[in-house]
């Protein structure tokens, strides 16, 4: 106890400890360091491509994600719908993707026209009923607006274009088409001819292949599944691997 004037002044040992005099400085320094780390992290994110950040976040979530309380597993084979892989915003396919989405939305054929990504590039998939009558290779007049819009996209790019024809596993035996190979190949060739002969796109930008019933995207066990396999794919080949 210390007497100051007439009133005693009590100072506890805890209050007079020299360690408490710098306690607030330690807390303040820790807070400043946390803020510094936070701003360093923000700065580093601005120097990383946005697509790479998304890929890291998706990979991290898939690795450590655990269902939180109250969340139930949805029935079915897939919880999340299939979606295209992330594309580098600076790649030659980034703007092409946006154009493709606008065209598909404008045509109102979301169930018959779609696109996805592969190692080779952007793949636009068209149901055979969009372009042809069943069992035929001649382009139907109603499909011309669709091909015109696709041609407009092609003209905006420098990518090589590969047109691929596919069929289901139902054999076709006609004078013109002895097998599905001829049907799938001629369908792809006719799409090519429309682009080059009617819309004057240089033929050097194209290649054509017919796969017949090979490489199905669905099992050929139901009519709806076989309809998915009857298609034409327009591949915008990546300029860089």
- Per-residue pLDDT reduced to its tens digit, 102-157: 888 888 877 889 888 888 899 999 999 999 998 899 999 999 999 999 999 999 99
Say which range, 31-35, 68-72, 90-94, has the weakest mean pLDDT.
68-72
d(Cα 53, Cα 221) in Å, to the nearest integer? 41
Tell me which of 82-86, 116-120, 171-175 is least confident.
Answer: 82-86
Taking alpha carbons only, the member of 187, 195, 193 closest to residue 168 is 187
Q: Residue 232: in which H helix or E strand, if any?
A: strand 231-237
Which of 220, 134, 129 minimizes the C-alpha distance to 183? 134
Q: How many helices (H) and strands (E) does the chain have?
A: 7, 7
CA quadruple 7, 12, 15, 17: dihedral sign: positive
HSE value, Cβ hemisphere, 13 Å, CA-based, for 12: 3
Residue 25, token pair as written in the block? 């400085």
What is the structure's pLDDT at 112?
87
- Identify the top-confidence range among 26-30, 44-48, 154-158: 154-158
DSSP state of 140: P
Q: In what order do the strands lie in the sheet with 231-237?
A: 113-117, 121-127, 231-237, 161-166, 206-210
Contacts with 190 (C-beta within 8 Å, 6 or more apart), sequence order:
137, 138, 139
Q: What confidence tier does 188 reach under pLDDT thresholds 50, 70, 90? A: very high
pLDDT given for residue 57 in this prediction: 60
27-33: long-range contacts (C-beta < 8 A, 24 or more apart)?
none
Any residues with CB less than 8 A from the CB of 215 and at least 6 apart, and which? 166
25 vs 212, higher pLDDT: 212
Min mean pLDDT across 32-46, 80-94, 105-119 is at 80-94
Hey, is 178 helix, strand or coil?
A: coil
Using an 8 Å Cβ cutoff, are 172 and 179 in contact? Answer: yes
């Amino acid at each position: 106890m210390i007497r100051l004037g007439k009133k005693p002044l009590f100072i506890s040992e805890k209050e007079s400890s020299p360690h408490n005099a710098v306690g607030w400085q330690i807390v303040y320094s820790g807070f400043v360091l946390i803020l510094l780390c936070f701003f360093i992290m923000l700065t580093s994110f601005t120097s990383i491509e946005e697509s790479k950040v998304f890929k890291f976040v998706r990979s991290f979530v898939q690795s450590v994600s655990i269902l939180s309380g109250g969340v139930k597993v949805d029935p079915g084979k897939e919880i999340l719908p299939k979606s295209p892989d992330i594309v580098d915003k600076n790649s030659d396919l980034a703007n092409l993707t946006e154009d493709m989405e606008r065209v598909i939305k404008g045509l109102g054929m979301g169930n018959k026209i779609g696109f996805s990504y592969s190692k080779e590039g952007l793949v636009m998939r068209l149901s055979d009923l969009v372009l042809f009558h069943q069992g035929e290779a001649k382009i139907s007049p109603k499909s011309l607006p669709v091909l015109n819009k696709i041609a407009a996209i092609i003209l905006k790019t420098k990518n090589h274009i590969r047109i691929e024809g596919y069929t289901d596993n139902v054999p076709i035996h006609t004078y013109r088409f002895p097998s599905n190979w001829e049907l799938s190949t001629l369908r792809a060739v006719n799409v090519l001819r429309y682009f080059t002969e009617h819309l004057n796109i240089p033929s050097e930008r194209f290649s054509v292949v017919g796969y017949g019933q090979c490489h199905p995207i669905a099992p050929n066990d139901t009519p709806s599944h076989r309809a998915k396999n009857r298609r034409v794919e327009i591949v915008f080949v990546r300029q860089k691997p």
